[in-house]
Chain A
Amino acid sequence: ELKVEQNPLFLSMQEGKNYTIYCNYSTTSDRLYWYRQDPGKSLESLFVLLSNGAVKQEGRLMASLDTKARLSTLHITAAVHDLSATYFCALTMDSNYQLIWGAGTKLIIKP
Chain B
Amino acid sequence: ETGVTQSPTHLIKTRGQQVTLRCSSQSGHNTVSWYQQALGQGPQFIFQYYREEENGRGNFPPRFSGLQFPNYSSELNVNALELDDSALYLCASRGPHTSGNTIYFGEGSWLTVV
Contact = CB atoms under 8 A, between A and B. Distances in A.
A43 B102 contact: no
Given A42-B105, A48-B102, A50-B101, A101 B42 contact: yes
B42 A103 contact: yes
Interface of B: 2, 31, 33, 35, 41-45, 48, 55-56, 58, 88, 90, 92, 94, 100-108
Nearest to A47: B102
Q: Which 6 A-B pairs have the closest CB atoms?
A: A101-B42, A43-B105, A42-B107, A48-B101, A42-B108, A42-B105
28 contacts: A31-B101, A35-B105, A41-B107, A42-B105, A42-B106, A42-B107, A42-B108, A43-B43, A44-B105, A45-B103, A45-B104, A48-B102, A88-B43, A90-B43, A96-B55, A96-B56, A97-B48, A97-B94, A98-B58, A99-B33, A99-B43, A99-B45, A99-B103, A101-B42, A101-B44, A103-B41, A103-B42, A104-B41
Contacts of A50: 101
Given A98-B48, A98-B58, A88 B101 contact: no
Interface size range on A against B: 20 to 34
Nearest to B55: A96
A97 B110 CA distance: 23
A25 interface: no
Contacts, number: 55
Please report whether the interface of chain A is mostly helix, strand, loop or mixed according to DSSP: strand
Contacts of B35: 99
Interface of A: 31, 33, 35, 41-45, 48, 50, 88, 90, 96-104
A50 B97 CA distance: 13
A31 B48 CA distance: 17
A31 B100 CA distance: 11
Given A42-B106, A50-B101, A98 B56 contact: yes
Contacts of B42: 88, 101-104
Nearest to A88: B42
